[in-house]
């Protein structure tokens, strides 16, 4: 009986160790369904393993975002080793020269886990053998990265949260942005304290190509043109609360009083979604477009909704209730972005123009721009137009003149913020916080 009992204990211990070794693959969704169930069965009964899983999620999330490499903070390794030795925990071999990923800024935002969990204390990190489930070859690099992410000392931002920023929008005191990158965390919520909350997204059939982001009522709606869907993000919870089907090549996106408007750049459809009810109107012919040309806009007013169909240079007015077409304006060029300023409708044309229209659609003013602007934001009496070729234009809307043209990396989207500033999704340049004169206040992420 004693031998059988001891053998049972041995098998149980081995099973736990096997599960421990599978935690990294489980975190990355690389296990078969059978293996995943086995892991979950053990996790359900082992609080300590669940704690290790939470630590591991934070570590792998940090590694996922390709941080910038710099030298370690002065004295960091010595402080770390002193803590480990004082705790009595086994130590890892440390090479004579190790680089730790940190941002160059010393006051950047802090990273937070993607889902609510108990924060890891410094005692918890050093009590267990650090990262026993990783191979020796990467153990040192990951352990040091994990310590830097989880330690309680004030540190710069370590995670590259916006490696290819595509869209950005404000929601209350939060800023939400998404990057066209592969992986589980393309969307990030930055709260008013600068803390980052990565949002997990289920795998999609094609690589992300985010085209627009809008916000209302504590939710952010992000269109993915490549996968023809809208991701609805609950900002407070930091999760994707639902996914809505969208027209092919969805690019135009707007939300007003619970009505979600979507325009398909590829199939020419306008879709209105309200309380689960879907209404569709075909307003243009289908076109074969490369993903990079998925551009259009929707601007709902009181009784009219204005929609661009840039494939044939049209601006179209529809009755916002019946979706009957009321007017078609052949503007020529490629109208791709819309906004309202006072009683005027502003149209950004990717052929290099900004247009002022009356609410009835009469063209009142045109300003030519040297470039191909495709996104538009209005702050006070100024319009800001981003151009993927690398510039942002500031236009005085009262005078109809170009105030300034500032060079950036690869502007993909721009939005006005409640405090009078702006946020720019600058592709590999990350998310850039700007003042009203396009001066850089802060740069977040970037590759």
Confidence of residue 79 (pLDDT cuts 50, 70, 90): low
- Per-residue pLDDT of 58-72, as tens digits, reads 665 555 444 444 445
Residue 346 and residue 338 in contact, taking contact as beta carbons nearer than 8 Å:
yes
Supply the pLDDT for residue 132: 42
Supply the pLDDT for residue 388: 94
Confidence of residue 52 (pLDDT cuts 50, 70, 90): confident
DSSP-assigned states of every residue in 342-397? TTEEEEEETTTEEEEE-TT--EEEEEE-SS-EEEEEEETTEEEEEETTTEEEEEET
95, 182, 228, 249, 402 from 205: Cα distances, Å:
42, 11, 10, 14, 42
Supply the pLDDT for residue 44: 80
What b/e string do you get for 119-153 counting C-beta neighbours within 10 Å, with b at 16 or more? ebeeebbbeeebbebbeeeebbbbbbbbbbbbbee
Angle at 386 between CA 62 and CA 265, to 5 degrees: 90
What is the pLDDT averaged over residues 187-200? 93
What is the pLDDT averaged over residues 202-220? 94
- DSSP H or E segment with residue 253: strand 250-256
Mean pLDDT, the chain, integer: 79
- Per-residue pLDDT of 85-99, as tens digits, reads 665 544 444 333 333
Supply the pLDDT for residue 141: 45
Q: Which residue bears the tokens 């906004």? A: 339
Supply the pLDDT for residue 19: 84
Residue 251 and residue 211 in contact, taking contact as beta carbons nearer than 8 Å:
yes
- Per-residue pLDDT of 10-34, as tens digits, reads 334 347 888 888 888 877 766 776 7
Name the token pair of 55.
């630590």
Contacts of 22 (CB under 8 A, 6+ apart): 31, 35, 39, 133
Name the token pair of 252.
């135009």
Supply the pLDDT for residue 9: 38
Confidence of residue 75 (pLDDT cuts 50, 70, 90): low
CATH fold label, 165-444: Methylamine Dehydrogenase; Chain H (2.130.10)
Q: For 102-225, where are the E strands, in sequence order?
A: 165-171, 174-179, 187-190, 196-199, 210-216, 219-224
Kindly tell me the number of DSSP H helices and DSSP E strands found in the chain: 6, 30
Indicate if the pLDDT at residue 296 is higher than 70: yes
How many angstroms separate the CA atoms of 288 and 84, rounded? 60
Higher pLDDT, 52 or 100: 52
Supply the pLDDT for residue 80: 52
Supply the pLDDT for residue 23: 85
Supply the pLDDT for residue 308: 95
What is the pLDDT averaged over residues 102-126? 38
Supply the pLDDT for residue 182: 77
Residue 164 and residue 180 in contact, taking contact as beta carbons nearer than 8 Å:
yes
Indicate if the pLDDT at residue 243 is higher than 80: yes
In the chain, where the domains are located: 46-150, 165-444
Indicate if the pLDDT at residue 376 is higher than 80: yes
Confidence of residue 129 (pLDDT cuts 50, 70, 90): very low
List beta partners, residue 174: 171
Query: Considering only 181-185, 240-244, 303-307, 379-383, which range has the smallest mean pLDDT?
Result: 181-185
Name the token pair of 372.
């191909």
Residue 108 and residue 444 in contact, taking contact as beta carbons nearer than 8 Å:
yes
Query: Considering only 100-114, 275-289, 347-361, 375-389, which range has the smallest mean pLDDT?
Result: 100-114
* Top-confidence range, 36-50, 107-121, 149-163: 36-50
Indicate if the pLDDT at residue 2 is higher than 80: no
Residue 175 and residue 217 in contact, taking contact as beta carbons nearer than 8 Å:
no
How many angstroms separate the CA atoms of 177 and 190, rounded? 8
């Amino acid at each position: 009986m004693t031998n059988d009992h001891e053998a049972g204990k041995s098998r149980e211990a081995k099973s736990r160790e096997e599960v421990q070794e599978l935690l990294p693959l489980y975190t990355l969704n690389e296990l078969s369904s059978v293996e995943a169930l086995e892991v979950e069965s053990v996790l359900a009964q082992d609080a300590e393993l669940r704690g290790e899983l939470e630590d591991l999620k934070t570590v792998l999330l940090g590694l996922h975002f390709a941080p910038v490499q710099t030298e370690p903070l002065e004295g960091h390794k010595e402080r770390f080793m002193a803590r480990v030795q004082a705790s009595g925990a086994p130590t890892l071999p440390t090479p004579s020269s190790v680089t730790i990923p940190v941002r160059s800024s010393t006051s950047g935002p802090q990273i937070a886990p993607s889902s609510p969990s108990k924060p890891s204390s410094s005692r918890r990190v050093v009590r267990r053998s650090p990262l026993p489930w990783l191979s020796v070859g990467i153990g040192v690099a990951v352990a040091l990265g994990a310590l830097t992410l989880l330690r309680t000392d004030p540190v710069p931002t370590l995670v590259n949260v916006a490696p290819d920023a595509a869209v950005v929008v404000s929601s209350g005191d939060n800023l939400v942005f998404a990057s066209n990158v592969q992986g589980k965390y393309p969307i990030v919520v930055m709260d008013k304290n600068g803390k980052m909350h990565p949002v997990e997204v289920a795998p999609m059939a094609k690589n992300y190509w985010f085209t627009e982001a809008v916000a209302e009522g504590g939710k952010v709606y992000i269109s993915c043109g490549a996968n023809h869907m809208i991701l609805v993000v609950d900002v407070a919870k930091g999760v994707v609360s639902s996914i809505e089907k969208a027209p092919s090549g969805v690019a135009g996106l707007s939300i007003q009083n619970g009505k979600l408007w979507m325009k398909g750049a590829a199939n020419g459809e306008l879709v209105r979604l309200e309380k689960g009810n879907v209404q569709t109107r075909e307003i243009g012919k289908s076109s074969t477009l490369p993903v990079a040309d998925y551009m259009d806009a929707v601007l709902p007013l009181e009784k009219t909704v204005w929609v661009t169909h840039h494939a044939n240079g049209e601006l179209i007015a529809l009755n916002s209730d019946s979706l009957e077409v009321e007017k078609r304006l052949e503007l020529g060029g490629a109208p791709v972005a819309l906004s309202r300023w006072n009683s005027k409708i502003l149209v950004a044309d990717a052929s290099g123009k900004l247009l002022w229209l009356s609410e009835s659609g009469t063209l009142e003013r045109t300003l030519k721009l040297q470039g191909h602007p495709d996104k538009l934001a209005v702050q006070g009496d100024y319009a800001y137009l981003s151009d993927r070729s690398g510039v942002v234009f500031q236009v005085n809307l009262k005078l109809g003149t170009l105030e300034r043209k500032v060079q950036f990396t690869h502007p993909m989207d721009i939005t006005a913020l409640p405090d009078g500033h702006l946020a720019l999704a600058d592709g590999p340049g990350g998310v850039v916080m700007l003042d009203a004169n396009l001066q850089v206040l802060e740069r977040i992420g970037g590759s």
